[in-house]
Structure 1
């Protein structure tokens, strides 16, 4: 009797499975095909992306070599081409390198290239800050203090990775503009930051020393009454 009930139960299970398969089998097959196709497409895309990145990397190195060889114009052209059709990461790198190459022959054009990077919301905030710092460095010897502050003041007031460079440039620009009191204050601001790099700290200490005379001495304490 037990065997009969067992066989009946097996028949019922097979019957239920057959009905389910008749109803949903085609969808199961389509799902399996879709999964296999998606996995194949993803593998193909990863392979294609790797090859594209390798090609962009090779072009980037070639352009760098042109720049190292003193062929600024050829390097600039190579970086410009890579910035147009390279992979995403290399496009941004190429734009930075192109701006750097351009600044060696045309400082104003180099500043404009860095300013364009700083204004591009499609790239990361840190990269945009780096572009502002680079533009300010190109201008620090010649441009009015307001032009420098426009680029680095907000970075200097923040707590990001580029704040030390921004404060350093701001103090130097204030010193060159003859605003010694402001330069002294910015130098002290730098020195008060415990995370400031040694090289920036040393320059800030020098600026503070050179501008000490611009800071009014503290009022002397009153003599005690007898």
Structure 2
């Protein structure tokens, strides 16, 4: 009986050797690939955390520079951050902060350049939208209307669509295109939440153009419900 079991075990061992000889390398490389991917995943996330931590420190430096009003220090710190951590959220936030500081100091060109960098390089579409809206506002002040409209020509995230329409309305008004401005302001008014304070500002703009959007909305509601306003 023992001899029979020894023979059976020997057969199993021979089969295992044959299997390993045929598929051993494939299994080994598959394991290496899986373990390598796992190690890379861990390494990547560690790198991300490290990058974010270092970027946060640099953001604090830029924030202190802005508070002190030291433009040269802002420029140096932002350039360093762009080079080392340009893909991080902190860099995008720092860009918006620096752009505002440049504008407040009267350095409009530096402000526009920084906003352009955020609009083109930011991974987050929200930061891109904010940068483009601010840049369009500065270009409007410079009477660079075509460039301002160009900043607003691309698609915006849902939460920014109404704000982009309002900004386009401002540009149209500056160009004396009242009908186009009305259309954009109406888009903005309809797109903003009823509880939003900014909606009241758009309403004032429409009132100045002879339109009462609140009354129009009431009539639309009445028509839809069959109730007289």
- Fold equivalence (TM over 0.5): yes
Match of 2:225 in 1: none
CA distance in 2, matches of 1:176, 1:19: 83
User: Do the aligned partners of 2:87 and 2:122 also contact (CA within 8 Å) in 1?
Assistant: no
SS of alignment partner, residue 43 of structure 1: helix
**Take 1:175 and 1:29, find their aligned partners in 2: how far apart are those partners?**
70
Q: Is contact 2:65–2:73 with CA below 8 Å preserved after alignment?
A: yes
Query: Helix, strand or coil for the counterpart of 2:191?
Result: coil
Would you say the 8 A contact 1:117–1:131 is kept in 2?
A: yes
- Superposition deviation, residue 22 in structure 1: 4.9
Q: CA deviation at 1:168?
A: 1.8
Conservation of the 8 A alpha-carbon contact between 2:185 and 2:206: yes
Query: CA deviation digits over 1:136-190, x for unaligned, max 9?
Result: 12233341543432322445xx673211211222223333444433333322222
Structure 1 CA distance for aligned equivalents of residues 25 and 206 of structure 2: 79
Report the equivalent of 2:112.
111
Alpha-carbon offset, residue 195 of structure 1:
4.1
Per-residue deviation, 1:121: 6.6
Query: Contact 2:129 / 2:157 at 8 angstroms: preserved in 1?
Result: no
State the TM-score, normalized to the length of structure 1: 0.72
- Gapped regions of structure 1 (runs ≥ 5): 214-226
Structure 2 gap ranges (5+): 212-229
Instruction: Give deviations 1:167-219, integer Å, cap 9, x for gaps.
Output: 22222333344443333332222223364662231111101111118xxxxxx
Q: Secondary structure at the match of 1:212?
A: coil
- Say if 2:149 and 2:168, in contact at 8 Å, map to a contact too: yes
RMSD value over aligned CA atoms? 3.3
Between the aligned partners of 1:113 and 1:33, the Cα distance in structure 2 is 45
Partner of residue 210, structure 1: 208
Does the C-alpha gap of structure 1 residues 148 and 37 become closer, same or farther in structure 2, counting only changes over 3 Å? closer
8 Å contact from structure 1 (residues 168, 200) kept in 2: no
Q: Residues 40-72 of structure 1, C-alpha deviation per residue, up to 9 Å, x if partnerless?
A: 454344334322321111111121122123223
Please point out which of 169, 182, 185 is paired with 1:184: 182
Could you list the per-position Cα deviations for residues 61-117 of structure 1 after superposition, in whole angstroms to 9, with x for gaps in the alignment? 121122123223312321121011126213433433333333233113312332344
Residue range with higher mean Cα deviation, 200-209 or 92-101: 92-101
Deviation at 1:133, TM superposition (A): 0.7
Does 1:12 pair with 2:6?
no
State whether residues 141 and 176 of structure 1, in contact with CA within 8 Å, keep that contact through their aligned partners in structure 2.
Answer: no
TM-score normalised per structure 2: 0.71
Contact 1:115 1:132 in 2 (8 A): yes
Structure 2 counterpart of 1:54 = 53
| Contact 1:80–1:95 (CA under 8 A) maintained in structure 2 | no
Q: Which has the larger radius of gyration?
A: 1
* CA 67–152 in structure 1, closer or farther in 2 if over 3 Å, else same: same
Give the 3 Å change call, closer, same or farther, for CA 205–116 of structure 1 in structure 2.
same
User: Structure 2 CA distance, aligned partners of 1:17 and 1:69?
Assistant: 74
